[in-house]
Structure 1
Amino acid sequence: MNAKSTSSPAPSGQPADDVRKPRSDGEQSRERLLLAAMRLFGQQGFSKTSTREIAQAAGTNVAAISYYFGDKAGLYQSCFSFMCAEAGGNVAAFDQPHFTLRESLEGYYGQMIAPLLNQKQEADVMLRLFFREMLEPTGLWVAEVENNIKPEHLALTRVLCRHLGLAGATDEVHRLAYAIPALCIQLLISQDVINAITPHMLSTPEAISAWCGRLVDYAEALFNAEKLRLQRKA
């Protein structure tokens, strides 16, 4: 999953509120519609959610949906565009030739947990919409896999091959590249479980950030196991 963060870092020493430009009423209305639609689509699915419900939840009128998005399908597609970052920016965070393996893994997990740090409530809504799309596909999830998830996966295999000394990705490298994000995906989709058992582990930005370091440790262990397997095979 490739959820993006909508917050922008402030210059050093300057509070974020001081550099955030005030949005126009139109921008605020459009964003309220997007957030309301994401929540309702995630809870009820596309077919069972009406434009009237969305407009009411956003505190605006149905005509605003037509104005900004054309129709319900356009609004649904805009929800995914709003949620999903371009793959290139995420890939650049970890696929750099001069990075050590640990630096690449830190960048990889850093972009995955960024929504939890910057907009936790919105991240929960985004995840629910992703799940709903997987259960009741409209075609947007297929596009997300092709346009964003696949490029990130291939970039991760390049990183792994570089540090394993391989010319190209084997099935074992692909398996490793599926296992590494799975560590973080489990965190993202199991927040309800974690909050029920050990709520302090997600209660603060510091607690969430601590996950990144541990995930890097676990991923390094998986990598080292694969490296050892290759050495023994050789």
Structure 2
Amino acid sequence: MNAKPISSDTSPPAEDARKPRSDGEQSRVRLLQAAMRLFGEQGFSKTSTREIAQAANANVAAISYYFGDKAGLYQACFTAVCTPAADNIAQFDQPHFTLRQSLDGFYRQMITPLLMGGDADVLLRLFYREMLEPTGIWQQEIENNIKPEHLALVGVLCRHLGVPKPNDSMHRLAYAISAMCVQMMIGRDIVAAITPHMMSSPQAIADWAQHLTAFAEALVNAEKTKLQQGKA
């Protein structure tokens, strides 16, 4: 799950969704922000369009105008924050990258949601809710983003380890590398209770990611040793 920042807008609320484009875009952004928060807190089925419009200080008709219906608004929440898989993959899958550069780029794009300040909680809750009460969007996220990025990481590992084609060992290694960063996301409450300083700022999160790069490199080197011993 990778994300781009949620646009924040503090301009005065628009009264009418059909006002000039600048006011209309402000209304649209506020609707997205309110919808992300409410969908994340309550789920899709328990959140009404009237409730979203009231939270966004917008006319309920604006939801139909910009998004078609509640389902369209829900889809737009994910579209607004999800970075295309190709952009994420480009950060770690380059033929001239060293292993460390690839791992560093992989974690850099993974921690993007955690660097969004207050928006991070909103975004993560939205995805957690979708996982708990799936509407089909989480499966789309897996197919369109998570799967291609995983396969790209497997390809990087195969290249650096001299493995001709993906196998279960390469997939397991890729899952393990990803899991270390996933822990930062799903374990935020645990970290906050035990070592809050480790995720207290963007710099602290970036420092953690740098350590993950070193840990992941050690995992890859351990797999390399295992492969070499198997060939001996």
TM-score, normalised by the number of residues in structure 1: 0.89
Report matched runs for 1:110-129 at 5 Å.
Answer: 110-117=108-115, 119-129=116-126
Give the root-mean-square deviation of aligned CA atoms: 1.4
Q: Runs in 1 of length 4+ with deviation above 3 angstroms?
A: none
Identity %: 69
Query: Could you list the runs of 5+ residues in structure 1 that have no partner in the other structure?
Result: 8-22
SS of the aligned residue for 1:24 comes to helix
Show the counterpart of 1:153.
Answer: 150
CA positional deviation for 1:5:
3.4
CA positional deviation for 1:3:
2.1
CA positional deviation for 1:86:
0.4
Query: Could you list the runs of 5+ residues in structure 2 that have no partner in the other structure?
Result: 8-20
| Structure 2 residue 192 is matched with structure 1 residue 195 | yes
TM-score, normalised by the number of residues in structure 2: 0.90
Q: Determine which of 171, 174, 179 is the counterpart of 2:176.
A: 179
| Structure 2 residue 34 is matched with structure 1 residue 36 | yes
Give me the whole-angstrom Cα distance separating, in 1, the residues matched to 2:185 and 2:22: 33
* Equivalent pair of 2:2/2:112 in contact (CA under 8 Å): no
Aligned residues: 218
Change (3 A) 1:6 1:129: closer
* Equivalent pair of 1:161/1:168 in contact (CA under 8 Å): yes
SS of the aligned residue for 1:180 comes to helix
* Equivalent pair of 2:111/2:209 in contact (CA under 8 Å): yes
CA positional deviation for 1:199:
1.4
* Equivalent pair of 2:107/2:209 in contact (CA under 8 Å): yes
Give me the whole-angstrom Cα distance separating, in 2, the residues matched to 1:130 and 1:182: 17
Change (3 A) 1:5 1:104: farther
| Structure 2 residue 152 is matched with structure 1 residue 131 | no
Show the counterpart of 2:18.
Answer: none
* Equivalent pair of 1:116/1:208 in contact (CA under 8 Å): yes
Report matched runs for 1:206-221 at 5 Å.
Answer: 206-221=203-218
Give me the whole-angstrom Cα distance separating, in 2, the residues matched to 1:151 and 1:213: 23
CA positional deviation for 1:6:
5.1
